[in-house]
Structure 1
């Protein structure tokens, strides 16, 4: 993919949607493309996450180990999906294993690249903070709605 195509892909991801072309260009230029063949892992559950990935082409199954250690498919994702978003701002573990179910490609965005974006464009930090706050509020509402299931 070209730089222009990477910028277009980034602009479709909610986290990056409101960024201008210069900001997107910085991310696209610094991002790393990863080719992943069918059956190959992009990353493994519980491994340290120092980057996020955006699915550029193809599809991935997201699997999590159940209580017995068996891998269960939690979701299937395709182009435009941002994986491990929280890794852009802090050290976390991968919450699932991502395996390509067809030949695929992902854009790897490192935490250091994201921090560079925030340093060069501080206003982006305010947008990201607002999005993270909204995501946490949404998770809290979803958890509250499920509270009766665990009572």
Structure 2
């Protein structure tokens, strides 16, 4: 995939939407690209998350371990999906196991690269801060709307 394709892919993600070509170029150029073969695990539930992944082609099956020790499919992540977005900001654990359902292209964005983006482009940091604030406000509103169910 060409650098311009990666820039376009990143620009379509809510996290990066509205960023300049220079900002997206920094991320696209510094990110790792690879193909995950069918059946190959990308990451395991409970492991430390130090990077996020963008699915560029193919599909990843996202599973969680149930109480009986069986993997249960939560969802399938296809092209244009950003996984482990929170890992770009802070140390978290993976919430599921990701296994390639078919040969799958991914872009790996490390926390260090993301921090470089917000250090070099303070306006990008402000944009992301506003998105996080909006997401938290929306989450709080949805939680408040469900309070009646727990009374």
TM-score (structure 2 length as normaliser)? 0.93
Return closer, same or farther for 1:36/1:126 CA change in 2, 3 Å cut-off.
same
Aligned to 2:53: 53
The separation in 2 between residues aligned to 1:70 and 1:144, in whole angstroms, is 33
2:32 is matched with 32
Deviations 1:43-66 (A, max 9, x none): 111100000000011111111112
- Paired with 2:120 and 2:138, the residues of 1 have a C-alpha distance of 29
Task: For residue 24 of structure 1, give the secondary structure of its aligned residue in structure 2.
Answer: helix
Name 2:111's counterpart in structure 1.
111
CA distance in 2, matches of 1:49, 1:15: 18
Paired residues, what number? 151
| Residues 100-131 of structure 1, C-alpha deviations (whole Å, 9 max, x = no match) | 11110110000000000001001111111111
- Give matches, 1:1-150, under 5 Å: 1-147=1-147
C-alpha change, 1:147 and 1:34, in structure 2 (3 Å) is farther
SS in 1 for 2:80: coil
**Structure 1 residues 10 and 39, CA, compared in 2 at 3 Å: closer, same or farther?**
same
RMSD of Structure 2 on Structure 1 (CA): 1.5
**Cα offset, 1:147, TM superposition:** 4.6
How far residue 34 of structure 1 moved from its aligned partner, in angstroms, is 2.2
Q: Give me the whole-angstrom Cα distance separating, in 2, the residues matched to 1:124 and 1:86.
A: 16
Gaps of 5+ in 2: none
Q: Which has the higher mean CA deviation after the structures are superposed, 64-73 or 18-27?
A: 64-73
Q: Match of 1:75, SS? A: strand
